[in-house]
């Protein structure tokens, strides 16, 4: 199962198109790929954001992302899944995260991709520091992210 997903945590920028090509090149068993690309915004709560610094817990972050991908390939009929997440300082407009799922059928790809980002947002150890014209501030967890992740909980 480990060869059915890839995770990376990195400071360097990434090309979403190249990531999707790497998942699909030479493959004829994939019927659909769904992806989400999160970008750094230039605002938050109606206030300007000039940069975002993302910190993480090395080792623990990668372990948690692997667990999330493993869960996705267990729940859905996926040929592959991928998470690329940046850390460090980023400017508005830059990609910060990519989640992608490939499957023989689109429904599994869409659901798994949505699951990947929802669980990542609430259970991976990342911390965001926004730079604003008034100074720096840490970003609090959002109840809306918890609600989104809760729909994927299995009873």
Q: Which two tokens stand for residue 1?
A: 């199962």
In the predicted model, what is the mean pLDDT of residues 132-140?
A: 94
DSSP structure string for 104-153: SSHHHHHHHHHHHHHHHHHHS-EEEEEEETTEEEEPPP-HHHHHHHHTT-
With cut-offs at 50, 70 and 90, classify the pLDDT of residue 3: low
Give this prediction's pTM. 0.94
What was the pLDDT predicted at 27? Answer: 94
Model confidence over 63-79: pLDDT tens digits?
Answer: 999 999 999 999 999 99
Model confidence over 18-32: pLDDT tens digits?
Answer: 999 999 999 999 999
Helix (H, G, I), strand (E, B) or coil at 94: coil
Burial of 122 (0-12, 13-18, 19+ CB in 10 A): middle
Model confidence over 98-125: pLDDT tens digits?
Answer: 999 999 999 999 999 999 999 999 999 9
Q: What is the mean pLDDT of the chain?
A: 94
Give the domains, in start order, of the chain with CATH numbers: 2-22+29-149 (3.90.1170.40)
Model confidence over 30-55: pLDDT tens digits?
Answer: 999 999 999 999 999 889 999 999 99
- Tell me: pLDDT of 155 over 70: no
Burial 15-36 (b: 16+ CB within 10 A, else e): eeeebbeebeeeeeebeebbbb
DSSP structure string for 136-149: EEEPPP-HHHHHHH
């Amino acid at each position: 199962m480990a060869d059915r997903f890839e995770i990376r945590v990195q400071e360097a920028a990434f090309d979403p198109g190249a990531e999707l090509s790497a998942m699909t090149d030479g493959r004829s068993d994939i019927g659909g790929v769904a992806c989400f690309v999160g970008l750094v915004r230039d605002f938050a709560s109606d206030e300007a954001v000039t940069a975002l610094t993302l910190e993480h817990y090395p080792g623990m972050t990668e372990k948690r992302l692997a667990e999330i991908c493993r869960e996705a390939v267990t729940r859905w009929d996926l040929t592959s899944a991928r998470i690329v997440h940046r850390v460090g300082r980023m400017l508005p407009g830059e990609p910060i995260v990519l989640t992608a799922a490939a499957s023989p059928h689109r429904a599994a790809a869409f659901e798994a991709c949505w699951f990947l980002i929802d669980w990542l947002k609430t259970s991976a150890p990342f911390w965001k520091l926004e730079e604003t014209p008034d100074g720096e501030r840490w970003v609090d967890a959002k109840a809306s992210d918890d609600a989104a992740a809760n729909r994927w909980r299995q009873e």
